[in-house]
Amino acid sequence: MAVYEGNFVQTGDLRLAIVIGRFNDLITGKLLEGCQDGLKRHGIDVSPESKQVDYYWVPGSFEVPLVAHQLAQSHRYDAVICLGAVIRGQTPHFDYVAAEVSKGIAAAGFRTGVPVIFGILTADTLQQALERAGVKSNKGWEYAMSALEMATLMRQISPLLSHNNRGSGSRPPLPTEALQAGVTLDSTAY
């Protein structure tokens, strides 16, 4: 049996992209700060001179998936972190923006095989958003941790995949279920 899981320590050579929506930048700026804080404390250089992290600003959450998809498709990055804030009440099209951005971010990950982290804060009010963006806790930190965990996990999974068959000999490709979180693999079978 083999158990695969990501970690927060093998971060030295990870490359990350962060896509940030300017809309509601009072909130997204705070999410970015929390995200950078989490990355920095786990060994990632987040400075302006960084060769590990690149930042991409877009007008709003709706534009995030397109850029995230392009960046993931470039395979320059081990993970793409998407940051945005969609607040109900500020717009009648809250539901449209929220639905499209969540579907788009999920699609970007599925289509490219690169972890694309859903760091879009949805809230009913500005107050609620503020509380999750630094006043009580900062969700940006959690998004950073998800990126590190997924990036380090995918580095372990990648050599096992049939299209990237380094070192797996004549063993059959992994079943799709094996790529789901929490599944343990029988290493004698694969």
Where do contacts with ligand INI occur on this chain (CB under 6 A)? 21, 23-24, 59-63, 84-87, 90-91, 94, 97
Nearer to ligand INI among residue 87 and residue 150 (C-beta) = 87
Cβ-contact 117, 82 below 8 angstroms: yes
Q: Tell me the H-state helices in the chain.
A: 25-40, 64-74, 94-112, 126-132, 139-157
CA–CA dist 73, 75 (Å, integer): 5
In the complex, least distance from residue 140 CB atom to ligand INI, rounded to whole angstroms: 15
Helices (H), 6-138: 25-40, 64-74, 94-112, 126-132
- How many angstroms separate the CA atoms of 86 and 23, rounded? 8
Q: Report, in Å, the least distance between residue 128 CB and ligand INI.
A: 13
Active site residue 163: no
Nearer to ligand INI, 97 or 148 (CB): 97
* Nearer CB in complex with ligand INI: 73/90: 90
Q: Which residue in the list 42, 69, 75, 93 is annotated as catalytic?
A: 93
In the bound state with ligand INI, the residue whose beta carbon lies nearer, of 122 and 146, is: 122
Q: Are 48 and 153 contacting, i.e. CB atoms less than 8 angstroms apart?
A: no
Closest separation in Å from C-beta 52 to ligand INI: 26
Closest to ligand INI by CB, 94 vs 190, is 94
State the nearest-atom distance from the C-beta of 117 to ligand INI, in Å: 16
Q: How far apart are CA 158 and CA 144, in angstroms?
A: 21
Question: Residue holding tokens 């700060």?
Answer: 33
Collapsing DSSP to helix, strand or coil, 79 comes out as strand
As measured in angstroms, the least distance from the Cβ of 138 to ligand INI is: 18
Q: Which residue is nearest to ligand INI (CB)?
A: 60
| Nearest-angstrom CA–CA distance, 82 and 79 | 10
Residue 83 · residue 140 · CB < 8 Å: yes
Catalytic residues: 93
